[in-house]
Amino acid sequence: MNRDLANVRTARMSPLARLPAFFALEGKRCVVAGGGLAAVWKAELLSAAGARVDVFAPEPSDDVRALAAAPPAGAVVVHARRWTPADCLAAAIAVAECADDTEAAQFAVAARAAGVPVNVIDRPEFCDFAFGAIVNRSPLVIGISTDGAAPVFGQAIRAKIEALIPKGFARWADAARTWRPRVHGLALSFRGRRHFWESFTDRAVAAPDKTPTDADLDALLTPSHTGEAGSVVLVGAGPGDPELLTLRAVRALQSADVILFDHLVSAEILDFARREAKKMLVGKTGHGPSCRQDDINALMVSLAKAGRRVVRLKGGDPMIFGRADEEIAACSDAGVAVDVVPGVTAAQAAASRLKISLTRRALARRVQYITGHGRDGKLPDDIDWTSLADPAVTTIVYMPTKTLPELVAKALEAGLDPATPAIAVERATRTDERLIDGTIADLPARVAGATPSGPIVVMIGRVFAEYRENAAPDELPTATQVRAR
pLDDT tens string 277-286: 899 988 655 5
Instruction: Specify the DSSP element, H or E, that contains 247.
Output: helix 247-255
Looking at residue 228, what is its pLDDT?
Answer: 56
More confident residue, 116 or 4: 116
Residue ending a domain, choose from 292, 310, 344: 344
Question: Is position 79 within any domain?
Answer: yes
Beta strands at 393-398 and 456-460: parallel, antiparallel or unpaired = antiparallel
- From the list 87, 241, 262, 317, the catalytic residue is 262
Q: What is the DSSP letter of 257?
A: S
- Position with higher pLDDT, 73 vs 432: 73
CATH code, domain carrying 396: 3.30.950.10
Domain end, chosen from 104, 131, 158, is at 131
Is 126 inside a domain boundary? yes
How many domains in the chain? 4
Is 317 among the domain residues?
yes
Residue 373 binned pLDDT confidence (cut-offs 50, 70, 90) = confident
Within this chain, do residues 369 and 470 fall inside the same structural domain, yes or no?
Answer: yes
- Flag whether 159 is in a domain: no
Per-residue CA distances from 355 to 32, 99, 322 (Å): 56, 56, 26
Burial class (CB in 10 A: 0-12, 13-18, 19+), 394: buried
Chain Cα centroid distance, residue 112: 39
Q: What does the pLDDT read at residue 11?
A: 60
Whether residues 207 and 93 fall in one domain? no
Can 284 be counted among the known catalytic residues? yes
Nearest-angstrom CA–CA distance, 127 and 115: 13
Q: What is the pLDDT of residues 216-265, one digit of tens each?
A: 998 888 765 555 568 899 999 998 888 899 888 988 888 888 999 988 88
Are both 356 and 316 inside the same structural domain?
A: no
Length of the chain: 485
Q: Determine which one of 42, 284, 314, 390 is catalytic.
A: 284
234 close to 327: Cβ distance less than 8 angstroms: yes
User: Other C-beta atoms within 10 Å of 429: how many?
Assistant: 23
Examine residue 477 and state whether it is found in any structural domain, yes or no.
Answer: yes
User: Is there a single domain that holds both residue 351 and residue 466?
Assistant: yes
Q: Say whether both 295 and 312 belong to one domain.
A: yes
Of 225, 241, 266, the domain-final residue: 225
Q: Is 262 a catalytic residue?
A: yes
Looking at the fold, whether 318 and 409 belong to one and the same domain comes out as no
User: 450 and 393: one domain?
Assistant: yes
**CATH number, residue 107:** 3.40.50.720
Strand runs labelled E in 303-349: 309-314, 337-341
Calculate ∠ Cα 53-56-61, nearest 5°: 100
We report the CATH number of the domain holding residue 320 as 3.40.1010.10
Question: 164 in a domain, yes or no?
Answer: no
Is residue 320 classed as helix, strand or coil in its secondary structure?
A: coil
| Phi and psi, residue 252, nearest 5° | -65, -45
Question: 314-334 pLDDT, tens per residue?
Answer: 989 999 988 899 999 999 999
439 membership: H or E segment, kind and range: strand 434-439
pLDDT band at 412 (very low <50, low <70, confident <90, very high): very high
Are 354 and 393 within one domain?
yes
Q: What is the mean pLDDT of residues 2-8?
A: 53
pLDDT, mean of residues 170-198: 86
pLDDT higher than threshold 60 for residue 111: yes
**Are 465 and 477 contained in the same domain?**
yes
Q: Give the pLDDT band (50/70/90) at residue 478.
A: very low
Give the pairing type, strands 434-439 and 421-426: antiparallel
- 219: closest CA among 196, 240, 239? 196
Same domain, 283 and 356: no
Residue 15 lies in a domain: no
User: Residue 476: pLDDT band by 50, 70, 90 thresholds?
Assistant: very low
Shared-domain flag, residues 252 and 208:
no
Domain, as residue range, for 286: 231-344
Same domain for 311 and 376: no
Higher pLDDT pick, 194 / 110 = 110
Q: Is residue 34 part of a domain?
A: yes
Give yes or no for a contact between 367 and 393, defined as CB atoms under 8 angstroms apart.
yes
> CB–CB of 107/100 below 8 Å?
no
Residue 139, preceding peptide bond in cis (omega within 30° of 0):
yes
Q: What is the pLDDT of residue 451?
A: 87
